[in-house]
Amino acid sequence: MAEIALQSLNKRFGDTQAIADFTLTVANGEFFVLLGPTGAGKTTLLRLAAGLERADSGSIAIGATDVTRMQPAHRDVTFVFQQYSLYPHYTVFDNLAFPLRSPRHRLAEDQIARKVNHVAELLGIGEKLQNRATRLSGGEMQRVAIGRALVRNPKAYLMDEPLSSLDAKLRADLRVELKRIQADLGATIMYVTHDQMEAMTLANRIGVMNQGRLIQVATPREIYSEPEDTYVACRLGSPRINLVPAHLLPDVDTPQRTVTIGVRPEDVVLGGEGPHGRVSLVETLGAETVVEIDCAGEEVRALLAHGQRFHSGETVRIAPRPGRAIFFDAGGRRIAA
Amino acid sequence: MRVAEIRIENLHKSFAHFTAVRDSTMTIGNGQFFVLLGPSGCGKTTTLRMIAGLEIPTSGKILLGGDDVTFRRAAQRDIAFVFQFFALYPHMNVRENLAFPLKTQRTARAETRKRVDEVAQMLRIEHLLRLPVGGLAGGDRQRVALGRAIIRRPKAFLMDEPLGALDAEFREMMCAELRRLHDRIGATTVYVTHDQTEAMAMGDRIAVMNKGEMLQVGPPQDVYDRPRDMFVAGFIGSPAMNFLPIDDGAANGAHEVRVAGAHIGVPRLHAGVKEGKGVIGVRPEHIRIDADGTLRGNVFAVEYMGSTQLVTIDTPAGRLRLKAPNTIQVEMRSTVGLQMDATRVVVFERDSERAVPSDLINGNGHG
């Protein structure tokens, strides 16, 4: 495994600046997640790293090798696509063995069998090895697709939303498996997603992207509690962070230049001090309850533990949990408290 | 707005050799927001289509505001059906699209104008009235389609996964919007979805269906807290409820069971469970990491989720997930003790998949 170093990358498609002055180093053995909405440039960036697109300017190094001008096949990286692409007429075993049988590797069949069995065990598809790919469920097919990447021992893995085609439960299961396998192998992974939950749970570090630019790079915890700006603050957390004008919360001790106060829904305290609002909606989510409050025309959402009961139309007082408010200036940038 | 109660009695629908809906009975109260929830193929859409009059039941009855409408045609039921993919008339602007249902009813022009303005204001699309629908954003299109459904002021709304085509962020927003709209106009609504979060958030009451059967009907929180069936328990809640087998059996009156040798407190049981037939169900938020916990396991994964963290643990009884506050430090691969909230554990009978009556789960009826 090796680090991936991207230096000042730029890429245009016609009038669109898809990637703008992008510099990032993914450490050896790191699980790095690029998070952003559709069109942010995440997939383009991954394709640049893989060599499927050529950058207009800038350089890419994998390990000690400058690969900027190198063909994809020579970069020694493995790409996992969003849609699994298996050979339907092959068995699971042969699908997994395929990358190892290429003339470049020259592996003996028993070595191949050992590798395939190992990866199949890791992914919990050991019993399906003799099944044809078409006889598998969607989740199993995607495991095979990931497995086909894992049998190789490349310098890095590039993954483009590999879990997005799966249903929620399977996604949650595969998420922990993937994270565990990555840790066990010490693999370098650059992973692209628009799903903030996936980013938070998988990543050692997250890079938040918008319009071809990298806005913030940090650990999930840092990004969640100290977002660089209101854009990043809104991209993480569900329900979304409350952003209210500072004058709405006059009791909060704000640093100078504060225009907007950000409060995560789980940090909204109801029924204590603070301004009055009217409950406009109560959503039970089982373990938690979301209460939406209309406060002087602003919508504020509170995430409460099960058991606290509020009703539509009720008047409540709202305040941020002490020390948990996040402050932003007129440009939407966070002010260190 | 007129409102109506919908009642279905012993409703049954077979297609050739396939039973789509099996002997279902329920009442949807006046003005209720009622959600039919289940995986694809469970019979929820068939049930909805029977209420709408788009399918004729094989047997059973449908009553709308007390009238038997079982064999009445869809057009005579005074119900508005909102489909997943809204068809708007592309050559008309927003106002014309909204007015269209009234035009076919030959409503007077002044009245039509008044109602269009009213609906547009309710849905906050007044500024779009003159625009062609072609250029609208997804959410606005959805609002126009909703507006077209409510403008007729039908007795009831039937909605079949109306938000299914939207991305997550939009969906969350439209969910809240729909619910607020319902609170304002108070029309009886039957809403079909396979998304349990949506069902929990929106329903006054939900019915969980599987394989044509209505397994449990009740307020969302009650179904969540007191599932009467393992399918219901597993389908509702994310991450899903954990199921662990009981080592031996349990007697009527027991308030403790053994799982992988550990004593686990449970709500006092009102019936016994035979040896090897019991399973406990525990939600991720009802398990705590606690050095004194008798059930022990190895931490397989720790996932940071912002307000909480999700910990996956391998125990001798199987893999389980728990939700922990993000303030505690949990090490991957470490061994931890687990403590369960004894008042919240549900005991199931493995073969029937039904919950064993207890201080938490009483009786067997539909809530």
Q: Decide: B24 and B11 in contact? Cβ < 8 Å.
A: yes
Q: Is B305 on the interface with A (CB under 8 A)?
A: yes
Q: Which of B242, B333, B326, B241 is nearest to A179 (CA)?
A: B333
- Identify all chain B residues contacting A284, using CB atoms and an 8 Å cutoff: 200-201, 220-221, 224
Q: Which of A229, A224, A258 is nearest to A337 (CA)?
A: A258
**A282 to chain B nearest CA, in Å?**
8
Alpha helices in chain A (DSSP H): 42-50, 92-97, 109-122, 138-150, 168-185, 196-202, 220-225, 230-235
Q: What is the distance between the alpha carbons of residues B324 and B203, in angstroms, rounded to a whole number?
A: 28
Of A122, A140, A124, residue with least CA distance to A132: A140
Say how far apart CA B301 and CA B323 lie, in whole Å.
12
Kindly state whether B298 is in contact with chain A, defined as any CB-CB distance less than 8 angstroms: no
The mean-pLDDT minimum among A118-132, A261-275, B287-301 falls in: A118-132
Smallest Cβ–Cβ distance between A201 and the set B220, B240, B305 belongs to: B305
Supply the pLDDT for residue B367. Answer: 38
Contacts for B87 with CB less than 8 Å, ≥ 6 apart: none
B300 shares contact with chain A (CB less than 8 Å): yes
User: In chain A, which residue's Cα lies nearest the Cα of B180?
Assistant: A281
Average of pLDDT values for B204-228?
96
Yes or no, beta carbons of B283 and A287 under 8 Å apart: yes
**Confidence at residue B366, expressed as pLDDT on a 0 to 100 scale:** 43
Categorize the per-residue pLDDT at B185 as very low, low, confident or very high, splitting at 50, 70 and 90. Answer: confident
Query: Of B224, B303, B326, which has the smallest distance from its Cβ to A176's Cβ?
Result: B303
CA distance B4 to B28: 9
d(CA B37, CA B200): 10
Residues of A in contact with B306 (CB under 8 A): 200, 220, 224, 236-238, 264, 266
List, in sequence order, every beta strand (DSSP E) within A163-322: 189-193, 205-210, 213-218, 242-245, 260-263, 268-270, 276-284, 288-295, 298-305, 315-320
DSSP string, B28-67: E-TT-EEEEE-STTSSHHHHHHHHHTSS--SEEEEEETTE
Residue B237 has pLDDT above 50, yes or no: yes
Beta strands in A56-131 (DSSP E): 57-62, 65-66, 77-80
pLDDT grade for B286, boundaries at 50, 70 and 90: very high
**Is residue A307 over pLDDT 70?**
no
Find the length of chain A: 337
* Nearest chain B alpha carbon to A306: B221
Q: How far is A146 from chain B (nearest CA, A)?
A: 19
Tell me if chain A has a CB within 8 Å of the CB of B197. yes
Query: How high is the pLDDT of residue A316?
Result: 95
Query: Among all residues of chain B, which has the CA nearest to that of A280?
Result: B180
Suggest the residue from B231, B300, B304 to mutate for an interface test with chain A (most A CBs closer than 10 A). Answer: B304
Kindly state whether A312 is in contact with chain B, defined as any CB-CB distance less than 8 angstroms.
Answer: yes
Measured CA to CA, the distance from residue A242 to residue A264 in angstroms comes to: 6
B112, B102 contact by CB (below 8 A)? yes
* Contact call for residues A163 and A171 (beta carbons, < 8 A): yes
Write out the DSSP string of B241-285.
Answer: PEEEE-SS-B-TT--EEEETTEEEE-SPBSS-B-TT-EEEEE-GG
Mutate to test the interface with A, among B312, B326, B329 (most CBs of A within 10 A): B312
* pLDDT tens per residue across span A13-33: 999 999 999 999 999 999 999
State residue B104's pLDDT score. Answer: 81
Higher local confidence (pLDDT), B148 or B266: B266
Distance linking the first and last C-alpha atoms of chain A:
40
DSSP secondary structure letter of residue A95: H
- Report for A230-234, A280-284, B135-139: range of highest mean pLDDT: A230-234
Residues 262-291 of A with CB under 8 A from B: 264-266, 280-281, 283-287, 290
- Residue type at position A74: H
DSSP state of A7: E
- A-chain residues within 8 Å CB-CB of B285? 287, 306
Q: Do A183 and B238 touch (CB under 8 A)?
A: no
Helix (H, G, I), strand (E, B) or coil at A280: strand
Residues of chain A neighbouring B239 (CB-CB closer than 8 A): 172
Pick the closest to residue B211 from B340, B43, B352 (CA basis).
B43
Give pLDDT, residue A58: 97
Mutation target vs B (from A193, A279, A285, A309; most B CBs, 10 A cutoff): A285
In chain A, helix, strand, coil percent, each to 5?
30, 35, 40
pLDDT digits (tens, 9 = 90+) for A66-92: 999 999 989 999 998 877 778 888 999
Measured between CB atoms, does B46 come within 8 Å of chain A? no
pLDDT computed for residue B364 by the predictor: 47
Please name which of B301, B296, B278 lies closest in space to residue B230, comparing C-alpha atoms. Answer: B278
Q: In whole angstroms, how far apart are CA B12 and each of B21, B47, B50, B58?
A: 5, 9, 10, 6
Residue B304 to residue B97: CA distance in whole angstroms: 46
pLDDT digits (tens, 9 = 90+) for A38-58: 889 999 999 999 999 999 999
Taking CB atoms and an 8 Å limit, are B304 and A287 in contact across chains? Answer: no
Quote the CA–CA distance of B99 and B112 in Å, as a whole number: 6
Instruction: Tell me the CA distances in angstroms from B183 to A180, B59, B62, B255, one per residue in order.
Output: 46, 34, 25, 42
State both tokens at B338.
Answer: 């687990």
| pLDDT at site B24 | 92
Q: Nearest Cα to A164, choosing from A70, A42, A316?
A: A42
Lowest mean pLDDT among A97-101, A245-249, B291-295: A97-101
Q: In what order do the strands lie in the sheet with A189-193?
A: A77-80, A156-160, A189-193, A31-35, A205-210, A213-218
Yes or no, beta carbons of A264 and B306 under 8 Å apart: yes
The per-residue pLDDT for B365 is 43
Residue B3 banded pLDDT, cuts 50, 70, 90? low
- Is the sign of the CA dihedral A52, A58, A62, A67 positive or negative? positive
Question: pLDDT averaged over chain A?
Answer: 91
Amino acid at B15: F
CB pairs under 8 A between A and B: 79
Q: Note which residues in 172-191 of chain A have CB less than 8 A from chain B.
A: 172, 175-176, 179-180, 183
* Mean pLDDT of chain B, nearest integer: 90
What is the chain B residue with the closest CA to A234? B169
| Whether A260 contacts A273, CB under 8 Å | no
Q: B35 with B197: CB under 8 angstroms?
A: no
Is any Cβ of chain A less than 8 angstroms from the Cβ of B179? yes
CB pair distance less than 8 Å for B237 and A287: yes
The stretch A278-304 carries a mean pLDDT of 91
From A168, A220, A266, residue closest to B304, measured CB to CB: A220
Cα dihedral angle (B97, B101, B107, B113), rounded to 10 degrees?
-30
Chain B residues within an 8 Å CB radius of A180: 300-301
Tens of pLDDT along B74-117?
A: 888 888 777 654 678 888 999 999 999 898 888 899 999 999 99
Q: What is the 3-state secondary structure (H, E, C) of B325-364?
A: ECCCCCCCCCEEEEEECCCCCEEEECCCCEECCECCCCCC
Q: Choose from B169, B202, B329 for mutation: most chain A CBs within 10 A.
A: B169
| Å between A136 CA and nearest CA of chain B | 19
In contact, B69 and B77? CB cutoff 8 Å? yes
Dihedral sign for Cα A265, A268, A270, A276, please.
negative
pLDDT digits (tens, 9 = 90+) for B161-179: 877 766 666 777 778 878 8
User: Are A77 and A157 spatial neighbours (Cβ–Cβ below 8 Å)?
Assistant: yes
The whole-angstrom separation of Cα B367 and Cα B362 is: 10
- Report the pLDDT value the prediction gives residue A320, as an integer from 0 to 100: 96
For testing contact with chain A, the best of B40, B206, B303, B330 (most A CBs within 10 A): B303
Query: A51 and A59 in contact (C-beta within 8 Å)?
Result: no
Contacts of B303 in chain A (CB under 8 A): 175-176, 179, 200-202
